[in-house]
């Protein structure tokens, strides 16, 4: 089977939870899914900044493959349950803590081992911060812990982002989501290269 080479994932969401939804996309006429195989999932987690190559190395061993594939399927199913939730909730403030997707996320979070560690501060504005800080650690001891980390990112989006600025790109067939963190909240496109320029060209042709 010949396969169209896949571009790098679209990490345009300003949130790893929205980048997760965007891990399947049809930027032009070809649909890409960046979570097609277990190794795909590991590559995507590194690209999205959710895990390091060092943490994931044990899951690249052949022995981990069946568990990794199981988790990959869990990721895809979870992604497709989070999508309609975000679709419905985007554009207004979130208030309903009783939504089944929130219950599912809470259930996944409850499985995770978590502890605090004292580490050097690495923020870009380190001059303003103290040299040492507390960091939240979620150790990855089995592939199953990966879904906990993903659910944590989705939980952060739900609990900490302003959903009024969660948007779907205005490109007519574009499915990409982003958190509009621009100053005047006027972001319209996933990216100028993919949808913005096409819209401009279409408007020009109309004239
Ligand atoms: Zn777009």
174 C-alpha vs ligand 1 centroid, how far in Å?
Answer: 5
pTM for the model:
0.88
Give the model's pLDDT for residue 104. 97
Q: What angle do CA 129, 182, 47 make, to 5 degrees?
A: 70
E strand or H helix at 201, and its extent?
helix 197-206
3-state secondary structure at position 166: strand
Question: For residue 179, what are the β-bridge partners?
Answer: 166
24 C-alpha vs ligand 1 centroid, how far in Å?
Answer: 13
Q: E strands, 9-163, where?
A: 24-25, 32-33, 115-120, 132-137
β-pairing, 32-33 vs 24-25, is antiparallel
Give the model's pLDDT for residue 201. 81
167 C-alpha vs ligand 1 centroid, how far in Å?
Answer: 11
CB 138 within 8 A of CB 191: no
Ion ligand 1 nearby residues (CB, 5 A): 169, 171, 174, 176, 190, 195
What average pLDDT values come out for the chain (207 residues) when binned by 10 residues?
76 97 88 96 97 96 97 98 96 89 96 90 72 88 95 96 95 93 94 84 78
Give the model's pLDDT for residue 124. 65
Read off φ and ψ for residue 12, nearest 5 degrees. -110, 5
Distances (CA, A) of 62 to 36, 55, 59, 65, 145: 17, 16, 8, 5, 18
CB 163 within 8 A of CB 89: yes
């Amino acid at each position: 089977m010949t396969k169209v080479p896949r571009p790098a994932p679209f990490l345009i969401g300003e949130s790893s939870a929205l980048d997760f939804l965007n891990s399947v996309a049809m930027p032009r006429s070809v649909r890409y899914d960046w979570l097609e195989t277990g190794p795909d999932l590991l590559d995507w987690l590194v690209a999205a900044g959710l895990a390091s190559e060092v943490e994931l190395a044990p899951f690249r061993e052949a022995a981990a493959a069946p568990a990794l594939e199981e988790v990959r399927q869990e990721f895809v199913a979870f992604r497709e349950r989070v999508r309609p939730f975000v679709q419905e909730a985007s554009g207004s403030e979130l208030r309903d803590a009783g939504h089944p997707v929130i219950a599912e996320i809470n259930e996944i979070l409850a499985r995770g081992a978590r502890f605090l560690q004292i580490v050097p501060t690495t923020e870009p504005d380190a001059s303003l911060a103290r040299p040492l800080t507390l960091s939240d650690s979620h150790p990855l001891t089995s592939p199953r812990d990966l879904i906990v980390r993903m659910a944590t990112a989705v939980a952060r989006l739900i609990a900490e982002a302003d959903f009024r600025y969660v948007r779907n790109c205005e490109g007519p067939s574009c499915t990409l989501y982003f958190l509009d963190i621009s100053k005047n909240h006027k972001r319209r496109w996933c990216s100028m290269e993919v949808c913005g320029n096409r819209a401009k060209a279409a408007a020009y042709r109309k004239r």
